[in-house]
Structure 1
Amino acid sequence: MRIVIVFNHPYEGSFCNAILQAVTKGLEEADHEVDLMHLDNEKFNPAMSQADLKAFVAHKPIDPQVIDYTERLKKADHFIFIFPIWWDIMPATTKGFIDRVLSPGVVYDHHPRGFGLVPLLKNLKSITVITTMNKPKWLYSLLIGNLIRKVMLKSVFGTMGYKKLQWISFTSVKSVSQEKRVKWLKNLETRFANFN
């Protein structure tokens, strides 16, 4: 399968980067084709310009990088998003990717009856979101309300009509032991080495 990984973390020594390496290694062990969109290294601009918005409304992207990303998304069987949770939500660059790249006419369209959206990526079988945060799981769930589940799974991809959605959440990352982090990474590698 062709797997597109959308990665967002500016620090190479981050746990997110270790996750990226583990996931990629597992996928490559299973002979999947990995297409990495490293938003930080590729200097993706998350800000929607006036010209971008006009292109968004017209369903015709004009930014060469956005066009490149959309063409690659069309060929994907699976998406994997990897990013940290900052202030209880995704970083601005990931949000900008959603705003500027996951656009109508490419990823979804409006239902012909005028209500709701329909998915356009016919090859896309499933989507996985992998996040890290320093809050404990219970605190994020109880006080904040699992915003990633609400935004990424229910609001963005659920509204677009995509069905097989999964969120893998690593919490209390700074406070857990190194042994536990290593175990998480090994489990991820195994999980994606068996991915189909």
Structure 2
Amino acid sequence: MTKKILVLNGHPGQTSLSKSLTKAYAVAATKAGHDVRQHDISEMEFDMDYGQGGYKATKPLEPVLDTFLTDLEWADHIVMSTPLWWGAIPAKLKGLFDRALIPGRTFDTRNPNFMGLPAPMLKGKTARVLLTSDTPPLLLRLFYSNAIKKIISRQILGFVGIKPTKYSQFAPATHPKDKKVQGWLKQVADLGARAA
């Protein structure tokens, strides 16, 4: 079954392992017949600061943010690559979520659940995160309780209804050998072909 896939490179640099991973995924998914739309945070120009806006007076979206949000609403499956920097995602990627995940389009404050949380509006979508880091997966779990995965899965994507979120982690990522990178790219291409 073909899927509508949004692929987001969340690394702010012009060249990166994250960018290579998303490209490998997108190429393989397209070849397999899936409908793919790509976004690259390094090429997106927008004000990352949410500013003084509130739920009732959100800052108007720049065209690039509106396009991203429209594609997010359109997609069945979201694939995001991000490096792990200082235990979190890059500031520009966080800024994208701060600005684009707005009430009325991604969550509904008028219909809270029994805990007072707004109703998610992007239900029925799944996600895959391609996480690069120097922290090995075992240490990320043992020392840091997979904090970054909990934040992305529960407090960002899950908050607006995108779940489940699956992870593929690539480490150590600072100076990997070419053979290792080629193996990672093949792994990601296999995921793309299956829209997984």
TM-score range, shorter chain: 0.7 to 0.9
Aligned residues of 1:45 and 1:93 also touching (Cα < 8 A): no
**More displaced stretch, 82-91 vs 148-157:** 148-157
Deviation digits for residues 157-194 of structure 1 (CA, Å, limit 9, x no counterpart): 23334332212211212354321221111111012112
| Structure 1 CA distance for aligned equivalents of residues 113 and 17 of structure 2 | 45
Alignment partner, residue 121 of structure 2: 120
- Unmatched runs of 5 consecutive residues or more in structure 2: none
Q: Contact 2:121 / 2:161 at 8 angstroms: preserved in 1? A: no
Hey, what does 2:106 align to over in structure 1? 107
Instruction: Give the aligned residue type for 1:142.
Output: L
- 1:39 is matched with which residue? 41
Relative to structure 1, is the Cα distance of residues 169 and 113 closer, same or farther in structure 2, using a 3 angstrom cutoff?
closer
State the partner residue of 2:158.
158
Structure 2 CA distance for partners of 1:24 and 1:59, relative to 1, 3 Å: farther
What amino acid sits opposite 1:184 in the alignment?
A: W
Say if 1:148 and 1:112 are closer, same or farther in 2 by CA, change over 3 A: closer
RMSD: 2.2
Query: Could you tell me which residue of structure 2 aligns to residue 140 of structure 1?
Result: 140
Partner of 1:58: 56
Residue 79 of structure 1 is matched in structure 2 by 78
Between the aligned partners of 2:57 and 2:69, the Cα distance in structure 1 is: 12
Q: State the AA in 2 paired with 1:10.
A: P
Superposed CA deviations along residues 108-131 of structure 1, whole A, max 9, x for unmatched, are 223345622322125x42111111
TM-score, scaled relative to structure 1: 0.85
Distance change in 2, residues 1:153/1:71 (3 Å): same
Query: Is the partner of 1:130 in helix, strand or coil?
Result: strand
TM-score under structure 2 length normalisation: 0.85
Question: Is this contact kept in 1: 2:4–2:36, CA < 8 A?
Answer: yes
User: Relative to structure 2, which stretch is displaced further, 98-107 or 176-185?
Assistant: 176-185
Provide the residue aligned with 1:194 in structure 2.
194
Q: In structure 1, what is the Cα distance between the partners aligned to 2:112 and 2:14?
A: 45
Question: Runs (4+) of structure 1 moved beyond 4 Å?
Answer: none
Identity %: 26
Instruction: Tell me: CA distance 1:61–1:35, structure 2 relative to 1, closer, same or farther (3 Å).
Output: farther
How far residue 143 of structure 1 moved from its aligned partner, in angstroms, is 2.1
What is the match of residue 130 of structure 2? 130
Return 5+ residue gaps in structure 1 as ranges. none
Matched residue, 1:92 = 91
